Structure 1
Amino acid sequence: MILKDLAALARPWQWSKNGILFAGLVFSGHLFDAAYLSRSFLGVLVFCIASSLIYTVNDIFDLERDRLHPEKQNRPLASGRVSKTIAILFSVLLFALSVAGAWTLGRPFLLTLGVFLVLNGAYSLALKQVVILDVMMIALSFVTRAVAGVMALRQVDPNLELSPWLLICTLFLALFLGFGKRRHELRLLAGEASGHRETLGRYSSAFLDQLMVIVSSATLIAYAIYTVAPDTVAKFNSTHLVWTVPFVTFGIFRYLYLIHQRESGGNPSRTLYRDLPLFFSILGWLAAVGIIVYAGRF
């Protein structure tokens, strides 16, 4: 039973967030190269372990607050099924495994993992209590994941880089998801919001709606610019990547619909799996990108 609870503490269903590490591989044009592929998979695995470490540490720090949350009170640590001592020992094991795995991928990747852990450590210790900055720290963690996907491949391709526009798009998309999650938590907890998380009491639905309009628009603009940027066209020898913009547009609009009309958005990963239109829009985007980037390579 303890293994099942430790697995729940690690939250493997949240590992889908680390799929962003594959962006470096996909846009490198070497998706079917075994050397690139194996290093990318190892990089994703390392960040999955590191993410579980962060989730466990967060649950340790938020233990008392989670017991006030209607959903989080059922988590292994908050419910008492896993003791605080066991959770700490589990964290040490996850830290050792993530560092050991990162070491095998080279110093740049190890340093990027270090930045990821520092960002999340600062978030857990203090910055989660600072309005706006709490969501920005989470967004920067996503950007760090994207950078890590490139760093994992640096030993086989020292010149590999990720477009700045793609990094900006990642930042704004993560902010969009983060503010959507805050909105869901605020409405779910109502008058008890500040008791669960102090910063929630400083937000309002109207303010979060404004922020979401800004960052969703910025996401679409940044991605559209990326698809037609001279560097992008030269890299893929094609202007056709612009045809993937409708998939991104629909995905963002669909997510806004789920947040405002379905009161969803509290768990982006779960929403992705459960909402078929959103799921298939992402699959369509992946297929379109694959065809455009790799069609001329066979």
Structure 2
Amino acid sequence: MRQTRPLVLDVDGTFLKTDLLFEAFWAGLGRAPLPTLKTALRHITHPARLKAELAAQVDLRLDLMPVTPAVAQAVSQAQEAGREVVLASASNEGQVRALAAAHGLSGQVFASDGDTNLKGEAKAQALIAAYGERGFDYAGNEAADLAIWHHAERALVVGHVPQATSLPRRDMLEGGWSWRALLKALRPHQWVKNVLLVLPLIAAHRFDLDTLLPIVLGMIAFSFAASSIYIVNDLLDLEADRLHPTKCRRPFAAGTVPIRIGMATGLGLALASLALAGALNLGFFGIVLLYMLTSLAYSLKLKRMRWVDIATLATLYTIRVVAGAAAGEVDVSIYMLIFIFPVFIALGCVKRLTELTLATSDARLPGRGYGRADRGDLLNVAGLGVFGALLVFFLYSVSPQAVMLYPDHWLLWVAMIPLGWWLIRMVVLGWFGKQDYDPIVFAMRDKFGLGLIMIMLSLMFWAAGLWAQWFGG
């Protein structure tokens, strides 16, 4: 028997595992930051106008947005039964109509215009006027939907809504988000990069607890700061990530964590990072702030600029080394900074080489300025970075500072062998696409590469006489 009662779906958090208002806001920030911020501030107290203005500024790829599997199944069953499936949302009407068309749903939609925010009781009255009391089933995901559920024949509750447990005619559908998914969004595996803060301690041969402890606290502060920026970066890259073969599984792109949760978490981590940095010392606070501002500029604009993005990545890694010196209050050699920068220029090129090698088409990388035609240039710049790093290392080995710190400084020349091997190997692996999309994370997991680094460090400790000092002989 064919049913005539329509199935009405909320959009944000119900049909979609995301929110169209926040999608439009972050897409606007990525394309036109200042106009988007002005629009948000001007209409923040008028949601319907805000949604209309943002919808007019950006064209969203609605076909890429993640759909809640349980709701998709309910839609399929309703359509098989001959029922009309209608979208009713507080999102902008134009976006909701386009979404319905993209998924083959009814052309009849209920949504916000520039004056009325169709949410809660306003949505309930619109549906009652169209279908009558209990003339529809309604799927929603939050307490605001209670106003509609009370007038629906059946309530489809997506995720955990405590207020909906008293509804007499309800079906519970799987949805919502998890803390595990949020932790994934913080990318804790990337925190390993902050081991770079320890380099000034090693270079200065300062292995006392008074130096190490503030550096460890500095690593925590940088981890918080980095995670806050990763969240911003992912929110700015939603469309590009959904077009990527692996990044499409990131929590915000996949909809496993709501955007609003990410925004609150990112802000909290940023404030915690700055508070911890300020507790260490003013210099370290300034460096963390510089890192965050540079990272934000990278996320908003610089990562889309060819070659500038690689120079910015190298700068961000170099800032970590400076931060380690500031946290531990140790002197950092100018040679170290000049050495570190070309190393990370090379690794930045490796990152892009890997992405291009693993790309599934000849099109330019989504959100980046590189295509496969740039692989040769990237290889050349990576080679220059390797040569520059080894040259600076050699010049340091014959400097008065190296002669003072390393009595057997000739061993530094021997240490250049595993160093050069490691750098060249990283470039080759990137060229053939045989490493992770992030070369630093790959390097920390690559046993052979770690072995080369340990050999290099062992030779440097030997040259400094540290082995004899620690173990006698």
- TM-score, structure 1 as length reference: 0.91
Offset at residue 236 of structure 1 (A): 4.1
Pairwise CA distance, 1:193: 4.3
Query: Which structure carries more strand by proportion?
Result: 2
**Letter paired with 2:213:** S
Give the corresponding residue for 2:323: 148
| Higher RCO (CA < 8 A, seq sep 6+) | 1
Point out the more displaced range, 237-246 or 215-224: 237-246
Aligned to 1:25: 201
Please give the alpha-carbon distance, in whole angstroms, between the structure 1 residues aligned to 2:444 and 2:400: 35
Classify 1:203/1:110 alpha carbon distance in 2 versus 1 (closer, same or farther; 3 Å). farther
**Conservation of the 8 A alpha-carbon contact between 1:273 and 1:279:** yes
1:172 pairs with 315, 323, 342, which one? 342
1:220 Cα offset (Å): 1.3
Q: Deviations over 1:102-130 (max 9, x none)?
A: 01110010011111111111111111121
- Find out whether 1:249 has 2:420 as its counterpart: yes
Q: Is the Cα–Cα contact under 8 Å of residues 351 and 437 in structure 2 kept in the other structure?
A: yes
User: Which residue does the alignment assign to 1:267?
Assistant: 438
Identify the range of structure 1 (250-259 vs 18-27) with the bigger mean alpha-carbon deviation: 250-259
2:357 aligned partner: 187
Counterpart-to-counterpart distance in 2, 1:42 and 1:203: 43
Is 1:277 aligned with 2:448? yes
Q: CA deviation at 1:297?
A: 4.6
Counterpart selection for 1:217 from 378, 384, 387: 387
Residues 75-224 of structure 1: pairs in structure 2 closer than 5 A: 75-154=250-329, 160-191=330-361, 193-194=363-364, 196-201=366-371, 204-224=374-394
Question: Are positions 1:6 and 2:179 aligned together?
Answer: no
Partners of 2:445 and 2:372 lie apart in 1 by: 31
Measured after TM superposition, the shift of residue 262 of structure 1 is 5.1
Aligned mates of 2:433, 2:368 — CA distance in 1: 25
Query: What is the aligned-residue RMSD (CA, Å)?
Result: 2.0
- The structure in which a higher percent of residues are helix is 1
| Distance in 1, Cα, partners of 2:199 & 2:376 | 34
Deviations 1:98-156 (A, max 9, x none): 001101110010011111111111111111121100111111001111101111122xx
8 Å contact from structure 1 (residues 47, 98) kept in 2: yes
Shift of 1:273: 4.2
Q: Which amino acid in structure 2 is aligned with residue 61 of structure 1?
A: L
Tell me by how many angstroms 1:250 deviates: 1.4
Opposite residue 22 of structure 1, the aligned amino acid is V
Per the TM alignment, residue 274 of structure 1 is displaced from its structure 2 partner at its CA by 4.2
Structure 2 Cα separation of the partners of residues 128 and 179 of structure 1? 13
2:216 to 12, 16, 41: 41
What per-residue deviation string (whole Å, max 9, x for no partner) do you get for residues 242-280 of structure 1?
Answer: 332122111112212322345435221342244322121
Kept in 1: contact 2:224–2:273 (CA 8 A): yes
| Contact 1:228–1:242 (Cα < 8 Å) also in 2 | no
Q: Report the residue type matching 1:277 in the other structure.
A: F
| Cα distance in 1, alignment partners of residues 270 and 283 from structure 2 | 18
Structure 2 gaps of 5+ residues are 1-176
Change beyond 3 A, Cα 1:174–1:281 = same
> Aligned pair in 2 of structure 1 residues 213, 49: CA closer, same or farther (>3 Å)?
same
Checking the alignment, whether the CA contact within 8 Å between 2:349 and 2:378 is kept in structure 1 is yes
Distance change >3 Å, CA 2–CA 203, structure 1 → 2? farther
How many positions carry a matched residue from both structures?
292
Structure 1 residue 282: Cα displacement? 1.5
- Measure, in 1, the Cα distance between the counterparts of 2:210 and 2:303: 39
Structure 1 counterpart SS, 2:253: coil
Which consecutive aligned stretches of 4+ in structure 1 deviate over 6 angstroms post-superposition? none
1:246 partner amino acid: I
In the alignment, which residue of structure 2 is the partner of 1:157?
A: none
**In 2, Cα distance between equivalents of 1:274 and 1:218:** 25
- Percent same amino acid among aligned pairs? 28
Aligned residue number for residue 100 of structure 2: none
Are 2:463 and 1:292 aligned?
yes
* Whole-Å separation in 2 of the counterparts to 1:48 and 1:289: 28
Distance 1:148 1:200, change over 3 A: same
The answer to whether the 8 A contact 1:180-1:265 is kept is: no
Q: Give unmatched runs, 5+ long, in structure 1.
A: 155-159
Q: Distance in 2 between matches of 1:262 and 1:122?
A: 28
Give the aligned partner of residue 15 of structure 1: 191
Tell me which of 59, 66, 69 is aligned to 2:244. Answer: 69
Which amino acid in 1 is paired with 2:390?
Answer: L
Contact 1:131 1:203 in 2 (8 A): no
Indicate the SS of the match to 2:257. coil
**Equivalent position amino acid for 1:14 in 2:** Q
Contact kept? 1:177, 1:265, Cα under 8 Å: no
Normalising by the residue count of structure 2, what TM-score does the alignment of the two structures yield? 0.59
What SS does the corresponding residue of 2:359 show, helix, strand or coil? helix
